Amino acid sequence: MKRFNYKYILLLVSAFLQIELRAFAQTQSKGTEAIATLVLKKALADTDLGLYPGSLLMHGMSELAVLQKDPQTLRQALALFADFKTGKIDGRGSFISYKAGGSGAAYLYYLKKSDAVKEQVDLRANEMFKLQKRSSEGIVTANWAKDSLDQIFIDIAFAVTPYMLYAGMAMQKPEYVDIAVKETLLLFDILRDTNGLLRQARGFTGLGILSEDNWSRGNGWGAFALASLMRDLPDTHPKKQEVNRVAKNFFEAVLKYQNQEGLWNQEMTEPLSYIETSGSGLLLYGIGIAIEKNILDKTYLPQFVKGLSGYTSYIAPDGSVSNTCRGCLNPGKGTKKDYIKREWILNDHHAFGPVVLAFTQALKMGIKEVTPAKCFGCYVTEFGKPRKPQTYVRYMPEANGNIVWENDRVGFRVYGPPVKDRVSSGIDIWTKSVPYPVIDMWYSLNKMGKPYHIDRGEGCDFFHVGYSRGNGGTAIWHNGKPYISAPYATHRILKNTEEEIAFELNFEPWEVDGRQVSETKVISMKMGDNFFKVVSTFQSSDKKPVPVVVGIAYAKTPEIIENKKTGTLTVWESYLPENGELGTTVVVNPKQIKNFTSFDKERFALVNVKSGEAITYYIGAGWSKAPQFKSRQDWLDYVNMEVPKMKF
């Protein structure tokens, strides 16, 4: 017999463990420089640098280039700025500074990283100073702004203040520096809300009228402008103390609205609005500089780090960024609701620059790694790249202990123990018109202020359950009415594969006219089927047979189709115009069915069940907006085709 070389085996095991530990560590922390570089690479491939979001990105690129030992990013940035000078990149939009490539070019010249940008920075700064439109207060504003309404908006601080600050200091033009300071301080004075945050705009819904928002990216634009003044305006400037005071008060107000993920919502004061990443990134950038310059106390550093950690959930491994509000300037009447309705877009062109700025600032502060709060890119993966079609069941402790399950055609839900005082054991339908899983996605959207009761092209939950049986819930029938159980008490997931799921629900005993009844359900579902199978076992304290009903709830005046010979009960109901039409069906063993009966807005199939013996039945739903069913007849034909396959 050969002898094992245990020393060799131990070395192999040790090496394997070291590899696994390194891999684990990589999943637990991410380098701030790596994140900034990753997103920058994605952005340079996807962004029109000639527009103002490109100008913001170029500033972020410039700051990253200054920190990096490898000059590659700096060389690349200077080459891109040269393309602005020659016109290869068409810098265009509301401000003349965009023609030079924006504030990043002025920043590099101020730091004496290259004389190559001097000519274009000087030329455009001079044009800005002489030719750019002014408001009545002397605020540099967009050339298209209407004099009759005296239009200004906080975004303009981003385009004016850092560019004129760095150009003025580089070229020893104090008048440029003064206008940079005046721009931001006046905008803050006019647009500051009573809560210390900023509103976005004035003069877009009437002369002198302010928008009613506290929009995340609007406050981010203000943060970006303040950041340049906090960090680089000389201490000798007569307005420096005022700048620091405004910054301290502003960022302390901002931090009061930081949410549990360390980020900020689209409408900062409305926690049910979605998390917005571009504003969050700009705010983190400004907060980081305020901490670095001792304008904010170092005790705020954990909140800065928390924000970076939460940010990573919205940044994908390929550099994609989710949850960025699309272009937005005083939408509608400028109300909070108008801003909340402004939807987010995956890889919107505003998304990238704030990431590069925030993580570059972290790197500058010595924060080389950040641990993701959840998972790196978890939200981007779900929303930007839907998973392949599959069956799926999940217990959701974060959503009241609900249990949800779905396949490529339809989804369902039962409520959990924490809400037993508000609902019962009915079964909810989540209609869907796409084959990939949606339930996790919809729950996450709902947390960000996008209810899943609205169809955004994938389907939605419009079916109301409450205390009803929903679609296929059970009850005990006694004296002409149903006796219902509370939501399930315990559960077990038995199978959770891409092709089939199965799980068990146990219900605590409930009283039916002096006797105690309990139930155990085993639910299973496969791919490609609008029905799921249920095996229920009822236990009665007196061991006598139990009259069980399997029910379907309805909303108004549906068509009810019953067939005792096949054991089918179908409800076809219109939810037009918003939500189409819905077919719901329960199928019980025709040999066991006794009758059909009603109570309130519910119809039931009644069966007699022996205590302790299992019964099998099937529950299904078909939606007229789904690819498989366009009409009542489509659903009935499908039911008639499937019933013969069912095994009881």
Query: Residue 58 carries which side chain, given as an amino acid letter?
Result: M
Among 364, 384, 404, residue at a domain's last position: 384
Phi, psi of 431 (to 5 degrees): -70, 140
- The answer to whether residue 621 is domain-embedded is yes
What pLDDT, on a 0 to 100 scale, did the predictor assign at position 387?
63
Instruction: Give residue-wise pLDDT tens across range 172-227.
Output: 999 999 999 999 999 999 999 999 999 999 999 999 999 999 999 999 999 999 99
Question: Do 89 and 131 form a contact (C-beta atoms < 8 A)?
Answer: no
Q: Tell me the torsion sign for CA atoms 136, 142, 148, 152.
A: negative
Indicate the pairing of strand 392-396 with strand 402-406. antiparallel
Nearest alpha carbon to residue 446 among 437, 438, 436: 438
572 and 618 belong to one structural domain: yes
* H helical segments located in 293-350: 301-311, 336-340
Give the Cα separation of 358 and 286 in Å (integer): 8
In single-letter form, the type of residue at position 517 comes to V
Which residue, of 351, 384, 417, is where some domain finishes? 384
446 found inside a domain: yes
Beta strands in 26-162 (DSSP E): 30-31, 152-153
- pLDDT value, residue 495: 92
Q: Is 524 left (phi over 0), alpha (psi -120 to 50) or beta?
A: beta
Q: How far apart are CA 549 and CA 474, in angstroms?
A: 6
Biggest CA pair distance of the chain: 98
Residue where a domain terminates, one of 362, 384, 406: 384
DSSP state, residue 97: G
Q: What is the DSSP string of 282-309?
A: HHHHHHHHHHHTTSS-GGGHHHHHHHHH
> What are 135's two structure tokens?
């408001």
- Tell whether 336 and 465 lie within a shared domain: no
Quote the crossing angle between the two packed helices 240-255 and 174-191, to the nearest 10°. Answer: 40
Alpha-carbon distances, residue 614 vs 108, 255, 525, 548, 595 (angstroms): 76, 57, 18, 12, 19
Structural domain range at position 554: 393-645
The verdict on 155 and 293 lying in the same domain is yes
Shared domain for 487 and 551, answered yes or no, is yes
Residue 254 maps to which CATH number?
Answer: 1.50.10.10
Burial of 84 from C-beta contacts in 10 A (0-12 / 13-18 / 19+): buried
Structure token pair of residue 384: 């930007």
Query: What is each CA distance from 65 to 60, 122, 231, 442, in whole angstroms?
Result: 9, 22, 18, 39
pLDDT tens, 172-182?
999 999 999 99
Q: Are 312 and 31 in contact (CB under 8 A)?
A: no
- DSSP letter assigned to residue 268: T
Q: Is residue 18 part of a domain?
A: no
- Same domain flag for 413 and 538: yes
- Report the number of distinct structural domains present in the chain: 2
15 in a domain, yes or no?
A: no
* Calpha distance 187→284 (Å, rounded): 20
pTM beyond 0.75, yes or no:
no
Provide the pLDDT for residue 28: 60
pLDDT of residue 68: 93
226 with 293: CB under 8 angstroms? Answer: no
Please list, in sequence order, all residues whose beta carbon lies within 8 angstroms of the beta carbon of residue 117, skipping any fewer than 6 positions away: 78, 81, 85, 100, 101, 105, 106, 108, 109
Q: What is the CA radius of gyration of the chain?
A: 31
Calpha distance 102→159 (Å, rounded): 7
Question: Is 374 in the same domain as 335?
Answer: yes
Give me the residue label for tokens 């006019």: 190
- Which residues of the chain register pLDDT less than 70? 1-28, 381-387, 448
104: in domain: yes
Task: Please tell me whether residues 536 and 572 are part of one structural domain.
Answer: yes
Q: Which residue's entry shows tokens 């640098």?
A: 49
10 within domain boundaries: no
Look at residue 1 and tell me if it is in a domain. no
268 in any annotated domain: yes
* pLDDT for the residue 640: 96
Structure tokens at 410: 């339809």
* Pairing of the two strands 201-202 and 459-460: unpaired
Give one DSSP letter per residue of 543-587, joined into a string.
Answer: ---EEEEEEEE-SS--EEEEETTTTEEEEEEE-TTTS-EEEEEEE
Spacing of C-alpha 221 from chain mean position: 21
Together in a domain, 375 and 429: no
Q: Which amino acid is at 3?
A: R
Under 8 Å CB-to-CB from 145, ≥6 apart: which residues?
133, 135, 151, 152, 203
The amino acid occupying position 96 is I
Residues 365 and 431 in one domain: no
pLDDT of amino acid 597: 97
Element housing 248 (H / E) = helix 240-255
Domain containing residue 625: CATH number: 2.70.98
Same domain for 488 and 440: yes
- Cβ atoms of 218 and 188 within 8 Å: the answer is no
- 289 & 377 share domain: yes
| 471/351 same-domain check | no
Q: Are 459 and 412 in contact, with CB atoms under 8 Å apart? A: no
